[in-house]
Structure 1
Amino acid sequence: MSILFSPITLGGQVLDNRVVIAPMCQYSADAGRATDWHQIHLGHLALSGAGLMFIEATAVAPEGRISPADLGLWSDETEAALAHVLQSVRRHSPIPIAIQLAHAGRKASTEVPWAGGQSIAPASGGWQTVAPSALPYAADDTRPAALDEAGLARIRNDFVAAAQRAQRLGFNVIELHAAHGYLLHQFLSPLSNTRDDRYGGTLENRMRFPLEVFDALRAAVPGDTPVGIRISATDWVDGGWEIEQSVTFAQELQRRGCAFIDVSSGGLSALQKIPVGPGYQVAFADRIRRETGLPTIAVGLITEPEQAETILASGQADMVALARGMLYDPRWPWHAAAELGDQVDAPKQYWRSQPRAYKDLFKPG
């Protein structure tokens, strides 16, 4: 058996294999509510044979959306819409489903990517953004409002409320989004956090609010529900957040019962210089895994089955996540299992599709 298609346990959740469908924003919600697009999108990915499927970054408050079309989980209406989608998916697939809870901070209130992705000013139909400090992401963006103590408490409570809704919806895994330049990452990085109170300055202070949110969220759901986090291991900017600080942050999370760390990078500054190449972020997952003992998910230009298997076999990560590669090839796990001589779950309606050369590809029902 390959390592890629061997089981792994996160908290109280057993995954049949180590292929993870990464969270991918669809920008197709209606006032935060999931739509028919989500039912189609998640429905076909749920038949992929992956071990775990994340739904997209889900805003914990309306002002935390990246765009007006972002998915949300902050009200009975958004919860009900997502429940409808999940019920449909679960009717036909046993895949464990995870949610990534997010707040975009100063990177909120933008156009959807295919409309340019520019910041939308409040006067043009956007909204006032918030951040650790009143520093915009881009020079011509609306300046965010620096969060005061009341604002911090409100956002912390928004994360808790969304986690409780996620628990009611039966999500198997919860991930806190602290990467890609969004709000919790903004607190971590000295490039976006210039506060002079207990939430800014030293590394300990910059970590304080993200850790408070994690603690509150972890306490709000049952202990056997795996709660993990996604981080950007580096800003790829001199003087910014980097891997040494990420290791310290991960060590703090490990002490708090974090179930896994999903290791990405970048997104905080337009000045970033990313050396993009196959598996360019894997070394970060490797170092965090070695120095903390936490299970890690490696992500970023992992496209080939042998590449994924090598990452796991060499101990660089415990799971691999695919995003764009999974959109391009929604049956990637099938093809990977065939190439590695392994088996994968598939719906019985598709059993006759396996090529003669891979007649034992699908696990018997």
Structure 2
Amino acid sequence: MSKASKDLDISPIFQPITINKLEIKNRIAMSPMNCNFTDPDHYMSRQQMAYYAARAKGGTGLIITEAQAVSEHPIADTYRKYNNPFLTNYKYVPTQSNFVEHVKSFGAKIFAQLFTGPGRQGSNDLGAAGIVAASAIPWESQIEKMINGVTDDVIKAGARLAGYHGDIPPLSDFDKFLEFAQKIPMLHLVGQTPREITKEEINILVKDMGTGAKVAKLCGYDGVEVHACHGYLVHTFLSERSNQRKDEYGGSFENRIRFMLELIRSARRAVGPDYPVGVRFSAAEDLPGGYTAETAAKMAKRCQEEGADFINLSHGSYEAMSDFLPNTEGQVIDKAAIIKAAVTIPVMCPSVHNPENVVDVLKNGKADIVQQGRQQICDPDWVNKVMNRRFDDIIKCTRCNRGCILRFVAMLPVRCVRNPRTGQEEFIDEYMKRPILPIKQKVWHEVQELTEKNPSEIWEYTEEEMIKAVTVE
């Protein structure tokens, strides 16, 4: 560690921040990431409880869960083998509320990311219906923007894990590689042409977003985030590159963001004015015909005007993997600063791992919160180590993607090549033994507000009462 780092003023990292009326104890958030830990029936597993608890215990101020499905309509189910958790109806409340209570007992606040479906990045082979998107335009991967760690030997190993033993073309022959990819059950990113989603289907998803938000609030989540990033369904509406509709959801800027704003409004109506509702979208696409950071700044401003309490930035899409999963430190900082200048609500900047860079982002107003994804997978104690100035003890993420991203794509539980404890948290007592003192009645104020029942009676709900509690009219 350099002398400059040893003298680093870390106070900006540990200044509390308020989102809506919720105080977050510091400026570090854990990015939403699917880790393939969910139970087969879409319930949160013991491993998920322990995994998120480890990051809360490690000092992270805000945890944002992996994408959680809000709809069981067939159009939202073309991603099923990746087994996202569900917040679609009352039956998930008991296990979800136990999960939330466990994570919050370790001192973090927790938001649920709400997901309407993969769009054209799903697969006709992985769900109950064909894939849909804003327009009937397939995604096109940019081979020059591939992430670290994707090599021919890794692809071969993944295919073998998935049960494929045929010939595999090299990545250098990318057209043939994509033809091969469509034969592999593990891959949802195969570039199939979607059909244009109908207005009736859009309306279903908008209503389901409200139900999902209401279920999340009932479960005790501190806030919700609308998923609109990474080239998935909502993202395809935002960009002229993927949206060529002729109705009120295509064409002008305002039309292209209409679906996203309707989802934000639906969530807000369901949870009321005093509950955090935000949105995550990509800071830019950096592709021919794609939207820029300046356009994203306009989007952020409109989201704030429509009631969003925070903007959570990502970058790129699966078309440009090295933007979506940055190969280098701080790739999104400059774009985050452009977007931050357009709004007064908190903005989160992704993929900043170095403490000096985190301080620079916060101190100079480039963003209000720094979120970490792979670094949190690698070292759940990053925040506590920085707080105690144990910089040399941080397990640094090398962005190799071998244990996390590539295992995820192969439908395997996430691990980390630098930390053998990652993915094994359920077997570590300190993450499963729940502290009792931090669990207070206030965790359950949502239950009383929505059901007018005493929290101790949660197991005595009738099916009718539970349906009423989470139904959006």
Shorter-chain-normalised TM-score: which range? Answer: 0.7 to 0.9
Q: Structure 1: where are the runs of 5+ without partners?
A: 110-118, 342-348, 351-365
Q: Measure the CA separation in 1 of the matches of 2:377 and 2:207.
A: 33
> What code does the residue aligned with 2:132 have?
V
Matches within 5 A, 1:260-275: 260-267=310-317, 269=319
Equivalent pair of 1:237/1:271 in contact (CA under 8 Å): no
Equivalent pair of 1:11/1:226 in contact (CA under 8 Å): yes
> What code does the residue aligned with 2:136 have?
A
> Is 1:223 paired with 2:233?
no
Q: Measure the CA separation in 2 of the matches of 1:77 and 1:221.
A: 19
Seen in structure 2, the aligned counterparts of structure 1 residues 130 and 244 have a Cα distance that, compared at 3 Å, is same
Q: Give the drift of 1:120.
A: 5.4
Paired-residue identity, %: 29
The partner residue of 2:338 within 272, 284, 287 is 287
The higher radius of gyration belongs to: 2
Q: Measure the CA separation in 1 of the matches of 2:386 and 2:321.
A: 36
- State the match for 1:89 in structure 2: 103
Q: CA RMSD in A?
A: 2.4
- State the match for 2:111 in structure 1: 98
- State the match for 2:379 in structure 1: 329
The partner residue of 1:11 within 17, 20, 23 is 20
Q: Give the drift of 1:219.
A: 1.8
> Is 1:48 paired with 2:49?
no
> What code does the residue aligned with 1:235 have?
E
Which whole-Å deviations, capped at 9, do the CAs of 1:8-39 have from their partners, x for residues lacking one? 11111001111111111112322322122211
Q: Measure the CA separation in 1 of the matches of 2:249 and 2:22.
A: 34
State the TM-score, normalized to the length of structure 2. 0.65
> Is 1:28 paired with 2:37?
yes
Q: Structure 2: where are the runs of 5+ without partners?
A: 1-9, 141-177, 179-189, 392-428, 431-473
> What code does the residue aligned with 1:285 have?
A
Higher relative contact order (CA 8 A, sep 6+): 2
Q: Measure the CA separation in 2 of the matches of 1:107 and 1:78.
A: 27
SS of equivalent to 2:280: strand
- State the match for 2:131 in structure 1: 129
Q: Measure the CA separation in 2 of the matches of 1:100 and 1:271.
A: 21
Seen in structure 2, the aligned counterparts of structure 1 residues 58 and 310 have a Cα distance that, compared at 3 Å, is same
- State the match for 1:362 in structure 2: none
Seen in structure 2, the aligned counterparts of structure 1 residues 137 and 72 have a Cα distance that, compared at 3 Å, is farther
Seen in structure 2, the aligned counterparts of structure 1 residues 189 and 268 have a Cα distance that, compared at 3 Å, is farther
State the TM-score, normalized to the length of structure 1. 0.84
> What code does the residue aligned with 1:135 have?
I
Q: Measure the CA separation in 2 of the matches of 1:273 and 1:25.
A: 18
Q: Measure the CA separation in 2 of the matches of 1:28 and 1:129.
A: 24
Q: Measure the CA separation in 2 of the matches of 1:325 and 1:273.
A: 16
Matches within 5 A, 1:69-80: 69-80=83-94
Q: Give the drift of 1:141.
A: 4.1
Which whole-Å deviations, capped at 9, do the CAs of 1:121-154 have from their partners, x for residues lacking one? 16xx664222111223358544323211210110
- State the match for 2:144 in structure 1: none
